[in-house]
Amino acid sequence: MKSKRKEYIAQFYRGNRGMFLLAALTALLTSGLHLVIARALQQMIDGISGVPGAPGLAGMAGWIAAVLALILLIQAMEYSFQPRFIQKGMQQYKEYAFGKLTRKSLESFDQEASARYLAAFSRDAETIEAGCLEGRFQLLTSAADFIGALVMMLLYSPVMTGISCAFFILPAGVSLLMGRRIQQAERQVSQKNETFTATLKDSLGGFSVMKSFRAEGPIQALFAGSNRAMEQAKCQKRRQVIALGTLASLAGVLAQLGTFWAGAWLAFSGARITPGVLIVFINLAAYVIEPLQVIPERLAALRAAEGLIDKLADALEEPARQPGTPLPDRLRQGIELRDVCFSYKGESRPALEHISARFEAGGCYAVVGGSGSGKSTLLGLLTAGRRNYSGEILYDGRELKTVSIESLYDLVGLIQQKVFLFDASIRDNITLFRDFPQEQVEQAVQKAGLAALIEARGPAYRCGENGRGLSGGEQQRVAIARSLLKQSQVLLVDEATAALDPATARQVTLSILELAGITRILVTHRLDETLLRRCDGILALKDGRIAEFGAFDQLMASKGYFYSLFTVTQ
């Protein structure tokens, strides 16, 4: 787990080390400034009190000038280095994680909630920024404060240092132990935020469903529940932070009063304690105490942030798989299934049983069957969406499990009911932002039946968020054009036209039927005779098994399952 985290943390420092070192130097100088101010106060107070050897007016002015110069220098450095380091670091971290996310296989992505990633790139990233990057510099300043102040106190008076330390050791120890609880609380907050993001995402995604089912009330309640849980977790965390702060300030007060007491005691017993030294002790005690509060808090935040990095790293981890050999870029013979059985994880009933079928290259096939009969599952298996099937799935005689996923994606295009569209131009939505020769794009547009639309609106017409600027049929055509453009040899179409009106659905299906040379498998529950007649074969599924497989006339003549399905829907 640690080694994975390292890769991610390395992104903060990639090409960014110089900036980090300069920012770290600034943090150390900040602590140096604290000591210089303490020393300046001691010198000036002793000067005023007439302690021999202390500076006069000119010397005091010198101290003031030195402090001012140091402050200006530190501020200028802080302005220049830290923000730049954090910007680049966070940018690289998120880009790295997103890169991993995009390279994730469909198989391992599908099974997770995308809300986890939304949280990882928004709130978690902010927590990481505060805990891992900003926090590191505060840690450095605090650690340097602690050591510097302690050393300086010892130099002034070891006895007084010993006495004042004795006063705050106990509360400081308790606050150190509290750090762990904050870390736990932070993890809780992150978890609740994930649920909250998921609820929000679902509510927005299902907005029209909510409206049409008048489900505003229940959805509001769902939102309120996860919102409350998240705010409660944040409240818990805030309380832990406050409790830690209380202990720390108790330690602070005790130390300062203790220092006074120690000074008085030493003065009574005849030791030479100047007013300046007494002030410097009270001043420095704060710099010993504050780190005792800040360091555990910062360390806890750092651990919590690292925990979030681990969480993301785990989610993005890809199970090791055999790379597989690439498929040729043309399908020559066809696709064959041999006694394929498949069950979803945790389901006792298999979704597909003993499926054996052959789809010839360049042919057009329809897969029909009742809802839940396994049609989508079959297409999922053909796109290597899931690999834990038994039997064989062969592309030109090559078992799917042994081929490289990338080459399969090059060969196969999947079109579903929901077309994913970016809020970009039609052209970019067709090319998916890649470069293609103009004539290739035009050809795909022509074949997909988009020519008239592009003629009317222009290739730069924006599709709008989720493609709201296009009709359902047009969206499907964009999806077809995409697959044509990437020269998919195999087109798998899962109820692509289910949401369209019959006339549009027919036109879109016709465009697909006319794509000669491409192997097409169309899942459809719309049993349109003229279209089905044009298919080379119809595979009728029933409860995960093949009921029948044959040409339209043949199936109608045998008056079996397909016949009854067909006559019922007419």
Q: Where do contacts with Mg ion occur on this chain (CB under 5 A)? A: 376
- Alpha-carbon distance of 218 to 448, in angstroms, equals 42
- If one asks whether residue 347 binds ligand ADP (CB under 6 A), the answer comes out as yes
Our CB check for ligand ADP shows the closer of 262 and 393 to be 393
Choosing from 373, 383, 476, 509, the residue that interacts with ligand ADP (CB under 6 A) is 373
Which of Mg ion, ligand ADP, none interacts with 372 (beta carbon under 5 to 8 A by kind)? Answer: ligand ADP
- Alpha-carbon distance of 254 to 169, in angstroms, equals 10
Q: Which helix (H) or strand (E) holds 377?
A: helix 375-382
Contact 478, 450 (CB under 8 A): yes
Question: 528 by DSSP, 3-state: which?
Answer: coil
- Alpha-carbon distance of 150 to 478, in angstroms, equals 70
Question: 68 by DSSP, 3-state: which?
Answer: helix
- Alpha-carbon distance of 106 to 83, in angstroms, equals 37
Question: 352 by DSSP, 3-state: which?
Answer: strand
**Residue nearest Mg ion, Cβ-based:** 376
Which of Mg ion, ligand ADP, none interacts with 531 (beta carbon under 5 to 8 A by kind)? Answer: none
- If one asks whether residue 377 binds ligand ADP (CB under 6 A), the answer comes out as yes
- If one asks whether residue 193 binds ligand ADP (CB under 6 A), the answer comes out as no
| Rounded-to-10 torsion of CA 106, 108, 110, 116 | -120
Among the listed ranges 9-17, 46-54, 366-374, 507-515, the one in contact with ligand ADP (CB under 6 A) is 366-374
- If one asks whether residue 208 binds ligand ADP (CB under 6 A), the answer comes out as no
- If one asks whether residue 371 binds ligand ADP (CB under 6 A), the answer comes out as yes
- If one asks whether residue 458 binds ligand ADP (CB under 6 A), the answer comes out as no
- Alpha-carbon distance of 223 to 306, in angstroms, equals 29
DSSP 8-state secondary structure symbol assigned to residue 357: E
Which of ligand ADP, Mg ion, none interacts with 433 (beta carbon under 5 to 8 A by kind)? Answer: none
CB of 375 to Mg ion, least distance (A): 5
> Residue with structure tokens 């036109």?
507
Among the listed ranges 117-125, 271-279, 372-380, 398-406, the one in contact with ligand ADP (CB under 6 A) is 372-380
CB of 377 to ligand ADP, least distance (A): 3
> Residue with structure tokens 């996923």?
405
- If one asks whether residue 199 binds ligand ADP (CB under 6 A), the answer comes out as no
Which of Mg ion, ligand ADP, none interacts with 464 (beta carbon under 5 to 8 A by kind)? Answer: none
Among the listed ranges 249-257, 353-361, 367-375, 560-568, the one in contact with ligand ADP (CB under 6 A) is 367-375
Contacts of 368 (CB under 8 A, 6+ apart): 375, 523, 524, 525, 527, 538, 539, 540, 541, 562, 565
Contact 338, 356 (CB under 8 A): yes
- Secondary structure tally for the chain: helices H, strands E: 21, 10
Alpha carbon 148 to its chain centroid, in Å, reads 41
- If one asks whether residue 26 binds ligand ADP (CB under 6 A), the answer comes out as no
- If one asks whether residue 344 binds ligand ADP (CB under 6 A), the answer comes out as yes
Output the CA–CA distances (angstroms, integers) from residue 519 to 516, 534, 538, 547, 555, in the order listed.
8, 14, 14, 22, 21
Question: 414 by DSSP, 3-state: which?
Answer: strand
Which of Mg ion, ligand ADP, none interacts with 178 (beta carbon under 5 to 8 A by kind)? Answer: none
Choosing from 34, 136, 375, 398, the residue that interacts with ligand ADP (CB under 6 A) is 375
Our CB check for Mg ion shows the closer of 259 and 376 to be 376
- If one asks whether residue 420 binds ligand ADP (CB under 6 A), the answer comes out as no
Choosing from 351, 408, 463, 540, the residue that interacts with ligand ADP (CB under 6 A) is 351
CB of 400 to ligand ADP, least distance (A): 18
Which of Mg ion, ligand ADP, none interacts with 350 (beta carbon under 5 to 8 A by kind)? Answer: none
- If one asks whether residue 135 binds ligand ADP (CB under 6 A), the answer comes out as no
Our CB check for Mg ion shows the closer of 248 and 379 to be 379
Token reading at 370: 């009742």
CB of 499 to Mg ion, least distance (A): 13
Token reading at 112: 């997770």
Q: Which residues bind ligand ADP (CB under 6 A)?
A: 344, 347, 351, 369, 371-377
